[in-house]
């Protein structure tokens, strides 16, 4: 602050004047609003919160229905909609912990039992799961619709016998192999996309399908339709069961049921794996 004195020089004529403004650290608007949002969540009744979340999901699904799978799932990774482990790509909690370890152990036994040596992994994601069993294979091809993810996987994990392909399995051909893995992929796709992929999978001797199931008391009907997106059918009380209409992939055998560590809606949600053997239909 500067001072200005009138010509009379007395104290009464002493007038302060403002100098240059002091710098002020203004926090971003998002930081300022965060406590308010937390408070609003705490005082909003659960039924109202669920209704708001449902409306937002309806809006998102309408938007996704007119966008390509490539754009939708590229956004899911870019915005860490499935997880934020600190890595550039994260396929979510199903690729960690007990869910991963149980699945890897099961697949290793299945490979040894079946003698399969050439694997195709549809919706390979961040490769965290498949990395646990590829040492048993002569050939592994990971397929995913997100080009940036495939480029990362190729740069970090690609080598002789391990390759990655950027393509939409619902609209293009699937590579040949002895065994095909589709792990927590169908839950994010429409019924038409699922049917298209299953049709192409019918050429494999063994197809391993893994899906997230709602808790028993919350289940309504299997295979209720939805547009492709990062979300699942769990909000509808639904899940993907390839043995049921409209897919009717038989015979299938349920081989692995693992509790979900962090349920999305209800306790007792599970991750279930079935084995479809098309050649024995």
- Residue 38 is assigned to a structural domain of this protein: yes
pTM for this model (two decimals)? 0.81
Gap between the Cα atoms of 68 and 190, Å rounded: 12
> Are 59 and 101 found together in one domain?
no
Q: What is the per-residue pLDDT for 275?
A: 98
Residue 247 pLDDT more than 70? yes
Q: What is the per-residue pLDDT for 196?
A: 98
CA–CA distance from 217 to each of 57, 64, 132, 237, 261 (Å)?
22, 29, 34, 9, 18
Per-residue pLDDT band for 2 (boundaries 50, 70, 90) equals: very low
- Are 147 and 70 in contact by the 8 Å Cβ rule? The answer is yes
> H or E segment at 192?
helix 191-201
Q: What is the per-residue pLDDT for 264?
A: 86
- Residue 9 is assigned to a structural domain of this protein: no
Q: What is the mean pLDDT of residues 205-231?
A: 97
> Are 53 and 172 found together in one domain?
no
Query: How many independent structural domains does the chain possess?
Result: 2
Q: What is the mean pLDDT of residues 20-31?
A: 56
Which 3 state secondary structure label does DSSP give 101?
helix
The CATH code of the domain that includes 218 is: 3.40.50.150
Q: Which two tokens stand for residue 93?
A: 């909690």
- Residue 86 is assigned to a structural domain of this protein: no
- Are 249 and 278 in contact by the 8 Å Cβ rule? The answer is yes
- Residue 58 is assigned to a structural domain of this protein: yes
Q: Which of 8-17, 37-46, 90-99, 194-203 has the lowest mean pLDDT?
A: 8-17
Q: Give per-residue pLDDT as tens, 125-180.
A: 889 999 999 999 999 999 999 999 999 999 999 999 999 999 999 999 899 999 99
- Residue 211 is assigned to a structural domain of this protein: yes
Per-residue pLDDT band for 6 (boundaries 50, 70, 90) equals: very low
Q: Give per-residue pLDDT as tens, 206-218.
A: 999 999 999 999 9
Per-residue pLDDT band for 94 (boundaries 50, 70, 90) equals: low
Domain span at 58: 29-64
Q: What is the mean pLDDT of residues 234-256?
A: 96
> Are 257 and 130 found together in one domain?
yes
Q: What is the per-residue pLDDT for 11?
A: 43
- Other Cβ atoms less than 10 A from the Cβ of 227: the count is 20
Q: What is the per-residue pLDDT for 52?
A: 80
> Are 97 and 54 found together in one domain?
no
- 159/12: higher pLDDT: 159
- Residue 178 is assigned to a structural domain of this protein: yes
> Are 148 and 50 found together in one domain?
no
Residue 92 pLDDT more than 80? no
- 138/45: higher pLDDT: 138
- Residue 149 is assigned to a structural domain of this protein: yes
Q: What is the per-residue pLDDT for 51?
A: 80
> Are 167 and 216 found together in one domain?
yes
Residue 73 pLDDT more than 60? yes
> Are 246 and 179 found together in one domain?
yes
Q: What is the mean pLDDT of residues 21-49?
A: 62
> Are 35 and 168 found together in one domain?
no
> Are 272 and 212 found together in one domain?
yes
Q: Which of 31-45, 54-68, 75-89, 216-230 has the lowest mean pLDDT?
A: 31-45
Pairing of β 270-276 and β 206-213: antiparallel
Q: What is the per-residue pLDDT for 121?
A: 98
> Are 171 and 56 found together in one domain?
no
Per-residue pLDDT band for 29 (boundaries 50, 70, 90) equals: low
- Per the prediction, the chain carries an average pLDDT of 86
- Residue 7 is assigned to a structural domain of this protein: no
Q: What is the per-residue pLDDT for 7?
A: 43
- Are 210 and 272 in contact by the 8 Å Cβ rule? The answer is yes
> Are 168 and 265 found together in one domain?
yes
């Amino acid at each position: 602050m500067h001072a200005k004195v009138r010509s009379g020089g007395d104290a009464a004529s002493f007038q302060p004047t403002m100098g240059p403004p002091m710098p002020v650290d203004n926090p971003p608007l998002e930081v300022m609003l965060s406590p308010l949002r937390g408070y609003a969540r705490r005082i909003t009744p659960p039924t109202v919160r669920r209704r708001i979340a449902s409306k937002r999901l309806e809006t998102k699904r309408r938007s996704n229905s007119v966008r390509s799978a490539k754009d939708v799932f590229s956004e899911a990774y870019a915005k860490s909609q499935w997880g934020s482990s600190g890595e550039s790509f994260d396929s979510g909690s199903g690729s960690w912990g007990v869910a991963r370890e149980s699945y890897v152990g099961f697949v290793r036994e299945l490979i040894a039992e079946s003698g399969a040596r050439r694997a195709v992994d549809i919706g390979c994601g961040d490769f965290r799961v498949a990395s646990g069993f590829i040492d048993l294979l002569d050939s592994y091809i990971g397929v995913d619709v997100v080009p940036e993810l495939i480029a990362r996987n190729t740069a970090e994990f690609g080598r002789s016998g391990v390759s990655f392909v950027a393509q939409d399995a619902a609209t293009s051909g699937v590579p040949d192999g002895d065994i095909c893995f589709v792990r927590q992929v169908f839950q994010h796709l429409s019924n038409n996309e699922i049917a298209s992929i299953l049709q192409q999978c019918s050429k494999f001797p063994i197809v391993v399908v893994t899906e997230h199931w709602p808790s028993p008391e919350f289940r309504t009907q299997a295979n209720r339709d939805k547009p492709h997106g990062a979300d699942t059918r769990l909000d509808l009380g639904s899940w993907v069961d390839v043995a049921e209409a409209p897919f009717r992939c038989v015979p299938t055998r349920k081989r692995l049921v693992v509790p979900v560590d962090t349920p999305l809606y209800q306790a007792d949600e599970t991750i279930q794996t079935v084995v479809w053997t098309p050649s024995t239909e």
